[in-house]
Each structure stands twice: as C-alpha cells, then as structure tokens.
Amino acid sequence: MATGTEAEGDRIAAASSRTAPREPLKGFHLRVTATTFGANFSDGYALGVIGAVLPALTTTMHLSGVWQGLLGASALIGLFFGSISLGRVADVIGRQKLYLYNFVLIGIASAAQFWANTPLILFMLRLVIGFGLGADYAVGPTLLSEFAPRRLRGVLLGSLTVLWTIGYVLANVLGTYVPMSGSAAHWLLASGALPALLVLLLRIGIPESPSWLATRGRAAEAAEIRRRYLGQYEATAEAAQISTAEQPPPARYRELFARGQAAKTWFGVIFYSAQVLPYFAIYTFMSQILGTMHISDANAQNLTLNLALLLGGVIGLWPVQRMGRRPFTIGTFAILTVCLAGMSVFNSASGWVLMIPFLIYTFVMAGASNITQVYPAELFPTSLRASGVGFLNGTSRIASAVGTFVLPVSLSLLGVGWSMGCMALVLLVGTLVSLAWAPETRDTLTAEDWHH
C-alpha cells in the first residue's frame, strides 16, 4: 500500500501523464526506442555469440563439460546480479545515469574478451558484461515504458525482443558461416564492443524519466522535460502547481511483496523464468541438439531455425499489440508445451520429423518472448518499477543459467527425448501459473494510475 507521501508522488505523476492516450509519436520517442533497441541488439549478440564460439573454444581451450556450461551461463549469472542490484538503485537515484554508464562497462569488458586466453578470465569478463546488461534489462524497458504513448507501448516494448533476436541470430549466423578458429572466436567475442559503443554515444543527452521525477516530488523538472521533449503543456502545467513541499521517500524493496503487489510479483517471476529457461538452454546448445537428431545438413537447419526466430519475433508483435497480455501469455505457453512434449514423445523419429515441432516451437517462442519486455514494466507502480523489472529479470536469469548449465549434461546422459520432456514440464508450469494468476494490464496508462 502507498503511504501518504508516496500516494502524493503518484498523484503528481498521474497528473503529468493524463493526456498520454492522446500523445502523438514524436522524434524523441523514436530516439529513446532506438537506443533501447541498440541495447537489446547488443544483449542478444553478446548472449548468442558465446554459443556460436563454444565449439571452437572447446578445442582451443580444452574445455570440459563443466567449463562449457559455466561459459554458456556466465553472462546470465551476471545478468542476475546486475538486474537485482541495479534495478533497485534506479528506483532510488533515477534511470538516466544507469541508462548511460552501464554501456561504458559493457563496451570495455566486451573488447577485453579478445585477450581472454583462459576460461577463467573469459568467464569473469562475461560476468561483467552480464552485470552491465542486467542494469539495462531493469532500466531500459522501464525508461521506455515511462516515455512511450500508451497506445504504442505494447509494440514499442515488444519490439525490443525483436532487436534482441536480430542480435542473437546474427551471432549464430556468423558462428555458423565464419571459418572458426581460436583467433576468429576471440574476434567475434570482442566485436560486441562495437554496438555497445554506438549505443553509448546515442544515449548521451537522454533526460531523466519525468514519471520518476514526479514521484520524487520534482514536478517542475518533470514538467520541463515533458514540455521540451514531448511537447506536453496542459498536463504538465497542472502537475507543476501541485505542492512538492514534502518529497516522498523511495518505495521500500519489501513493497514488491506487500499485499496487493505480491501476487503480481510472483506471477512475473514464474512466468518469465518458465519462458526463458528452455529458450536460453536450447538455443545456446542448438548445434548439439541438432547433432543428436542426426540431421545430415545441420548448418542449413540451424539457419532455418534462426530465420524462424526472426520471423516469429516480427509477426509476434501484432498479437502483443492487439491481444490482451493474459490470453497471449496463456496461449503461447500452451503451444510451446505441446511442441516440446511432442519432441520428447517422438524422439526416436527421424530428424526431419522432429524438425516440425522444433520449428513451430522456435517460431512461437520468438513471438512469445516479446511479452517479456511488455508485461514486467506494467506489473509495477513507478516507485517500484525498476526494482520490480530488475527482480523479474534477475530471477529469470537464475533459471536461464540453470537450464544452460544443465542441458548439455542432460543431452549427453539422457538424450534429446528426456531433455525436451523436462523443458516441456517447465513450460507446463508456466501455463498453469498463467491460468491461475496472470493479470490483464494492456489498458493501464501507467502503473501509477492504479492508485486512482
């Protein structure tokens, strides 16, 4: 429950954004979207490239199965710590500083991978990259959701996953078709510094979130940003007249689990984790999975699956925008569960038969992943949004890291059938939890309006 000062802060933020449903799409919206797009491209590239170079690194660095799993999960482990810790920081000090400086860290660590000549050094660098990306997982969608017009919020936030997929697919394609050696693998790893540098340059000058400023009692600053960057005058004038004599304190982290919010928080944790655990595990070790399916032209099938990822992500933007969040989430979970269950039950069939549910899974998963950038930002009020989004991203990355670490072991010991069956059970949990708890958030203006 909001305290008196917190409710006043939310009243200020709501007054500032009352005209948002009529707000046109402006060049500034596109700029914030583009810089957040670039971050998601960098993220997808950084996470995809490790799967692309692992076969070469296994040979040149003599990696054991444990080191393969650790390197595959390294950035995800960093993402957990970055999302959890820096999401909270963003709710206390604001979004803008982290939005800018996290890519300094990412760029430096990405370039340093070129000289990483031991598994331990590479592991540590990728932990740092993941830590910086974790901050952006919490801050990027949060800032974009607080600037975006409501009518376009779903498609703009959902598009972040499409750009993530493009970066991920590009890394996979390069890993497939670039002649891979130890030096080529290190060049690919270090190439992630280029998009990180571009994102850093484009983010210079992005202002603080006016919604966050308003909830901190800084209505005049929020009004100036809305006038200067968004062309809003009437609502900001009203907000500026609201007394800001008593500045509300930051919301406490434990309010994520308070009555009225806890169900949304735990739904977000389970829904997000159940979706990304199979995703990261399967696509990090896609070449190994294709190998167990005894497909003669694995490279061609790898390319086909990557194209399905891209196509599914783009087409999936339409239902994210048009459907409610709840039916979209439940429906996609159910389809994904059936696909992996089919691969498990018919695991002795030919590789070409198994490719049918695998392609459907890939296509639907790419579209379903769009919701992971939309739902979290809509589950929390402004004073808790970065903390909540960071918590969901962080906990989901624990699941991703576990899946990425366990899957290569499972494939070698149990085979593709049992491994896909376990992944189907994870998706089934996501389906059941979504049926029981998933709220509908599509028509919320901004989360602070829940108080009104």
The CATH number that applies at residue 403 is 1.20.1250.20
- 192 closest CA partner among 93, 103, 269, 271: 103
Residues 6+ apart with CB under 8 A from 338: 357
Residue 15 domain-assigned (yes or no): yes
Mean pLDDT across 409-431: 89
Please state, in angstroms and rounded to a whole number, the distance separating the CA atoms of residues 405 and 425. 18
Note whether residue 334 is domain-resident.
yes
Residue 452 lies in a domain: no
Q: How many domains does the chain have?
A: 1
Contact 195, 42 (CB under 8 A): yes
Assigned domain for 141 exists: yes
pLDDT digits (tens, 9 = 90+) for 211-232: 888 888 888 888 888 888 877 7
In a domain, 96, yes or no: yes
Residue 85 has pLDDT above 90, yes or no: no
Domain of residue 163, residue span: 4-446
pLDDT digits (tens, 9 = 90+) for 23-32: 677 778 888 8
pLDDT of residue 244: 43
The pLDDT assigned to 16 comes to: 44
- Report the C-alpha gap between 64 and 188 in whole angstroms: 21
Q: Does residue 111 belong to any structural domain of this protein?
A: yes
Q: Is the pTM of this model over 0.85?
A: no
Non-local (6+) Cβ contacts of 374 within 8 A are: 153, 154, 157, 158, 320, 325
Render pLDDT for 421-448 as a digit per residue (tens, 0 to 9).
999 999 999 999 999 999 988 766 443 4
Residue burial 40-49, b: 16+ Cβ < 10 Å; e: rest: bbbbbbbbbb
Average pLDDT over residues 356-361: 90
Place of tokens 């004599």: 245
Which value, to the nearest 10 degrees, does the dihedral of the CA atoms of residues 98, 101, 102, 103 take?
A: 140
Work out the mean pLDDT of the chain and round it to a whole number.
80
233 is a domain residue: yes
